[in-house]
Structure 1
Amino acid sequence: MIKLGIIGTNWITQQFIDAAHATGEYKLTAVYSRTVEKAKDFGKPNGATIFSDNLDEFFANDALDAVYIASPNSLHFEQAMLGIKNDKAVIVEKPIVANIKQMEILRETLEQHPQSRLFEAARQIHQPNFKIIKNQISKLGRIQGATLTYMKYSSRYDAVLAGQEPNVFTLKFAGGALQDLGVYVAYDAVGWFGMPDDVAYYPTLAPTRVDGKGVAILRYPEFDITLNIGKTSNSYLPSEIYGLKDTIVMSNPADLETVSYHDAEGHETLISEKPADNPMISEAADFARVINDPQNEKNDRDYWKWLDLSQNVAKLLYNLRQSGKIVFPDDKK
């Protein structure tokens, strides 16, 4: 049983705990928060018995095998470093880092701590429908590009309109649409098509100077991919991958709830599986598989494949931000 600690006491943390418990491979033991009282309020109902407001003591505790980090984006790097240096398995909610240099440092630190493991909680790449789409892409006679749209109004944008600056909409905490919803479509693009040759990002800035929404163009040798992302409005458009006369259509490029294939004659075939009620179960199971048996050849191969993909996505997001002239404080360190 993997002894799990968590950083962050929001809804996404609860969803991961529920997914972890559903696999039967984890037991929540410890919670870190800025106050012990808050850690107890969140952790006790979930079975935790250790509560801390001291990060160094938290990561040094032998009662932890793995730590799930769901703090503000700008804190991921420092906390992941502490986990690696304490030889823990570290699961970091997306985006794993604020810039590509931080990812390079994490990988260098991993080399010095071979017992540790580092995972980005990019849930959809572990889901069956992500792999179904990749398989269907390989059957397209000719790829002519894709349009991936993920725009979902953030309740925190109400605070922005009221003159406030919540964490997810600040440069200080590495916020914005690209760092949040954009991670999903970036994973789709890189996971299905590889790294583009060139990129451009056209952001629409929120009053807090982060990108509230934006359009990214990824250029490949024979096609382009368009990414439409936003946290300041809702879109109900499906996302599509274009063959010559055939098309793959998905309801949402992050949740991948339904996926259909339209052949050259226009006939539609549903190719997706019904997803789990909790979309984080697949990733929690995959992480447990690697943590429990890291020397297994398949597990080791999968782990490095996921880590390489995380690094490429971090590089893509950084390059897009540079194109859009969006600079975080951590970029200057």
Structure 2
Amino acid sequence: MINFGIIGTNWITQQYIDAAHATGEWKLTAVYSRNLEKAYSFGEKNGATKFYDQIEDLINDKNVDAVYIASPNSLHFAQAKQVIEADKVAVVEKPMVANPTEWEQLDEALEKHPQALLFEAARHIHEDNFRAIRNQVGQMKLIQGATLTYAKYSSRYDSYLEGHEPNIFSLNFAGGALQDLGVYLAYDAVCWFGMPEEVAYFAQKIRTGVDGKGIAILRYPEFDVTLNIGKNINSELSSEIYGVKDSIVMDNAAELNRVEYIDEEGNRRLISDDPESNPMIAEARDFARVIQDPDNHINRKDYQNWLDLSRNVNKLLYNLRQNGKIYFTNEKEED
């Protein structure tokens, strides 16, 4: 059993706790919140027995094996580094860090602390339907491009419209559409097609300086991939991967609830399965497999592949931000 603590008490933390418990391989032990009363109220209903308002106390708790980090984006790096330096497992909600400099520093920390492990909680890459798409792409004669969409109105945008600056729409907290929903599409592109040769990001910035929505173009040697991202709109557009006469159609490039392959004759074949009731179960199960048997050669290979993929996605997101002239607070262009 993996005893874990949490940093962050929002809805996504609750979803991860539910998924982790559903696997039967995780047990919530400790909760951190700046407000100790909130740590108690959130933790007790989920079975936690220890509650902290100092992060160091959570990380140094000898009964905590792993820490799930779901704080604002800008805090991920420092908190993950603390967990690694305590020789523990860090599960960091996407995006793990803001730029390649931070990513490399975490990699250096892992080298110094070989007992520690680091996972980016990019949930959909662990799902069967994601792998089904990757397998189908590999079987297609020729790829001629793709259009991937994930645009979902954020409830925090209402607060922005009232004149406030929520974390997810703030440069101070490394927010914006690309850093949030765009992570899913970046993982799609890198995993299914590899790293692009050139990128462009046409960001539609809002008052706070972040991108409320935007269009990214990823240029590969023989085709382009378009990413359509938004947190201040809703879109019901499907996503597609184009072959010659065949194609793959997804209901949503991040949710992947229904995926069809359309062959050259126009015949449709469902290549997706019914998704789990909780979309985080697959990642929680995969992380547990590696944590509990890190020396297994398959687990080592999977773990390294996930780290490499995370590094490339981080680089892609950073390059897109640079092209779109989006710089987070205290971040230099050369970071």
What TM bracket, shorter-length normalisation?
A: over 0.9
Q: In structure 2, what is the Cα distance between the partners aligned to 1:193 and 1:330?
A: 33
Q: Which amino acid aligns with 1:284?
A: A
Matched position secondary structure for 1:215:
strand
Alignment of 1:126-165 (within 5 A): 126-165=126-165
Alignment of 1:1-333 (within 5 A): 1-332=1-332
1:14-63 deviation per Cα after TM superposition (whole angstroms, max 9, x unaligned): 00000000000011000011021110010000000110011112111101
1:242-276 deviation per Cα after TM superposition (whole angstroms, max 9, x unaligned): 00000000001111100001111111111101110
Q: Which amino acid aligns with 2:223?
A: F
Q: Which amino acid aligns with 2:215?
A: V
Q: Which amino acid aligns with 1:307?
A: L
Question: Could you say if the C-alpha distance between residues 278 and 142 of structure 1 is closer, same or farther in structure 2, counting changes exceeding 3 Å?
Answer: same
Q: In structure 2, what is the Cα distance between the partners aligned to 1:260 and 1:206?
A: 36
Q: In structure 2, what is the Cα distance between the partners aligned to 1:155 and 1:57?
A: 32
The offset of 1:159, in angstroms, is 1.0
The root-mean-square deviation of aligned C-alpha atoms, in Å, is 0.7
Matched position secondary structure for 2:67:
strand
The offset of 1:114, in angstroms, is 0.2
Runs of 4+ aligned residues of structure 1 deviating over 3 Å after TM superposition are none
1:164-209 deviation per Cα after TM superposition (whole angstroms, max 9, x unaligned): 1000000000000000000000000001111101100000011211
Matched position secondary structure for 2:202:
strand
1:202-252 deviation per Cα after TM superposition (whole angstroms, max 9, x unaligned): 000112110000000000001000000000111101000000000000001
Matched position secondary structure for 1:115:
coil
CA contact (8 A) 1:98 1:330 kept: no
CA contact (8 A) 1:143 1:243 kept: yes
The offset of 1:331, in angstroms, is 2.1
CA contact (8 A) 1:160 1:207 kept: no
Runs (5+) with no aligned partner, structure 2 = none
Q: Which amino acid aligns with 1:3?
A: N
Q: Which amino acid aligns with 1:127?
A: E
The offset of 1:330, in angstroms, is 4.4
Q: In structure 2, what is the Cα distance between the partners aligned to 1:181 and 1:164?
A: 21
Aligned length: 333
Q: Which amino acid aligns with 1:23?
A: T
Q: In structure 1, what is the Cα distance between the partners aligned to 2:45 and 2:232?
A: 34
* More displaced stretch, 54-63 vs 295-304: 54-63
The offset of 1:288, in angstroms, is 0.2
Q: Which amino acid aligns with 1:134?
A: R
Q: In structure 2, what is the Cα distance between the partners aligned to 1:267 and 1:302?
A: 34
* More displaced stretch, 49-58 vs 309-318: 49-58
* More displaced stretch, 265-274 vs 223-232: 265-274
Q: Which amino acid aligns with 1:33?
A: S
Question: Could you say if the C-alpha distance between residues 290 and 330 of structure 1 is closer, same or farther in structure 2, counting changes exceeding 3 Å?
Answer: farther
Matched position secondary structure for 2:139:
coil
Q: Which amino acid aligns with 1:42?
A: F
Q: In structure 1, what is the Cα distance between the partners aligned to 2:192 and 2:259?
A: 15
CA contact (8 A) 1:171 1:329 kept: yes
Matched position secondary structure for 2:58:
helix
Q: Which amino acid aligns with 1:27?
A: K
CA contact (8 A) 1:294 1:300 kept: yes
CA contact (8 A) 1:258 1:270 kept: yes
